[in-house]
A and B are shown apart, each in its own frame.
Chain A
Amino acid sequence: MAEKGVLSDLRNQFANLKLSTKLSLSFGMVFLAFIAVIITASLTLSELSLYQQESFIRDLPTTEGMATLSVNMRRMKTAVQMFILLEDPTGKDKAIAEIEQVTRENAEIISQLKEIFQSDREMSDLLTSIDRRLDNFNKRIKCVFIPAGCQTKDLSEKTSALRDERENVNQMEALANELKELTTKYAAGQAARAKQQAQHSIGVLWTVCLVGVTTSLALVVLLSRMTIMPLAHLTEAARQLEESSNAVTVKDEGRTDEVGALTRTFNNMVRAIKEREEERDKALGRLEVSNAELKQFAYVAAHDLKEPLRTMSNYLSLLGERLEGKLDEKGERFWKTVLNSSHRMDALISDLLTYAKLGSKALAPQQVDMNEVVRKVIGDLQVVVSESGARVERHNLPLVFADGTQMGQLLQNLVANGIKFRGGNEPKLDIGANRISGGWMFYVRDNGIGFDMQFQERIFLIFQRLHGRDEYAGTGLGLAVCKRIVERHGGKIWAESKPGEGSTFYFTLPDDLQNNSIDTNGRAPSNDGDSPVGPSDATVESG
């Protein structure tokens, strides 16, 4: 298990290495293996050569032959001495037989040796001279021992001849010794040659190894230059592309291999990205212009609509003074309608201006105590609250990071709506907040007339009304303003209701004010501790 762990660790480490390091490491391993093989081979070779040397000496057939030859020489010497010393005929016969046997053996050995040392001139010469001496000796011995073959009769003559022969045998013995020495020398020479050959082989092996290592190193360098360098260039270019719009292409150096293909593909990608970015920037620019124009348009249109309307209503009042008492009942009604319409149009345009301003003005976020906001809103709505006899219950609300003025607008609209759309009972409002992940969810609950949930989207649209103007006054912009405020703060607004059972408006405010046009300074409401706020600490604002 532990080994497995170590192995996988190693594998992970290897996988995390740079490509160039990996390549070098792999090649390094190959070199090491290569060198190990060569060391083993050379060691084996030198051992082999030693063995060869020894076995050469041991197994040489001549060694034995030489030894026999010199033994035989001594045997012959002894036989000749025996022959000379012994007078009895059986002894003499025995000596003759011995000499004949030794002669035969010697002839055999010499012929064998001659065969072996065919190529060695020195040895051949020596052997020939030994052979000739042996031959002469044999001939003379035969003259001495076999009367039929020779005229010599006198024993003393024989004896002196034999003494000469003994001298001859001694010389032969010396020759045999010389032969033995030569053989040893020859064997040593052979062994030395074998050793030299082995050393030569080892040298060749090392040369091959060195050449291999050098070639491999060169290959590694070349490979890394060819593959890893372009990869590094590509990485650098890709990093630049990531960091800035200043995209750089990489030279492909006319390569047709995979790296070249990658480089060209990368360059195409860079060009495509550049083109797309340019297109996108253009489109964005156009959008920004049209967006700014639109915002400006809404504001300017509303503003410019107000001018003639103001003139109209001013002159209407002047006209009204002059018509005072001169109109009949119908005329009075027409006149009232005209006045009301101009006032309604003024209210509409004012609301539209408010709405347009919400879109174009930057938020001014700060720490806002929502309790304070609600208190102020209820103060501002004092007249409506006391006239309707509304009870507003406020639970403990958190601190949020938001635009204070807009929070006031938002809650004022929601509270005013809650009171405005009251049913038969006296209005009762419930305002609170719950901690949700990443922010706060506020709610404003009323016991009013409620609405059908099929209209839950429509009520937040601009100029959308669910009721006639005679029933409930208003321009139909209140909730659209609320929606815009909440969405500008990165939150959501929605409502739950049932006709006749009141409605609850919910809106969320995230902790991190995500609005690209606002400087949030990384500040967030520090109120994670007290959530959710229970109804136990509710405050009744007004009755």
Chain B
Amino acid sequence: MNLSHFVNGIKPAKVVVADDDQSAVDLLREAFERSAFSCQLEAVFSGQQLLDYLRKEEGREDERPSLILLDLNMPGKDGRQTLREIKADPELKNIPIIIMTSSELEEDIEKSYQSGVNAYLKKPNLFADLVKMAGAIKDFWFGCATLPQHPYI
């Protein structure tokens, strides 16, 4: 149906999700599967783990994730701090980031967009909504990013 991951190359897109809640990661994986988003979904469980993961891949640009899904409320180094550090790192600051959180604080929303995130999404209550959200991420994000290539294939 959607050709994006074929177009991008043989390797499927790599998405990193940073969330301390294992069940949330599982739900997301399920939702991605349902929306036929066959990506390589890596999970880390804290801000520090995410930074470590990103820096481990440093230098090999093709190894870097195409998208980061970041939760704000995590124990230890939380999403806000992690976001600041990623955006302060010249090697990492261009990786697209989507905030996926349960926080509805206007302050969080404002500050996230000021930091340069690409989207701020509130975690849905219903699984059906989560599936829709996964579809939207796939269609909108990867669709848009790869759209100009279609006519030339």
Contacts and interface: CB of A to CB of B under 8 A. Distances in A.
Pairing of A with B? yes
Interface of A: 303, 306-307, 309-311, 313-315, 317-318, 346, 353
B125 A346 contact: yes
Given A307-B102, A318-B30, A313 B126 contact: yes
A311 B102 contact: no
A113 B84 CA distance: 135
Given A311-B21, A311-B24, A303 B103 contact: yes
A307 B124 CA distance: 10
A347 to B, nearest CB: 10
B126 A303 contact: no
A314 B102 contact: no
A314 B126 contact: yes
21 contacts: A303-B102, A306-B102, A307-B102, A309-B125, A310-B123, A310-B124, A310-B125, A311-B21, A311-B23, A311-B24, A313-B125, A314-B27, A314-B127, A315-B23, A315-B127, A317-B126, A317-B127, A317-B128, A318-B27, A318-B127, A346-B125
Interface of B: 21, 23-24, 27, 30, 102-104, 123-128, 130
A314 B30 CA distance: 11
B103 A314 contact: no
A26 B26 CA distance: 97
A307 B30 CA distance: 18
Given A317-B126, A346-B125, A311 B104 contact: no
A306 B123 CA distance: 10
Contacts of B127: 313-315, 317-318
Max chain A Cβ within 10 angstroms of own Cβ: one of B21, B123, B125: B125
Contacts of A318: 27, 30, 127
Nearest to B128: A317
Interface SS of chain A: helix
Contacts of A317: 126-128
6 closest residue pairs by CB, A with B: A317-B127, A314-B127, A311-B23, A310-B125, A314-B27, A313-B125
Contacts of B128: 317
Contacts of A310: 102, 123-125
A314 B130 contact: yes
A307 B100 CA distance: 13
B23 to A, nearest CB: 5
A311 B27 contact: yes
B90 to A, nearest CB: 34
Nearest to A343: B125
A425 B125 CA distance: 37
A143 B24 CA distance: 177
A181 B128 CA distance: 153
Contacts of A311: 21, 23-24, 27
B3 to A, nearest CB: 28
A307 B125 contact: no
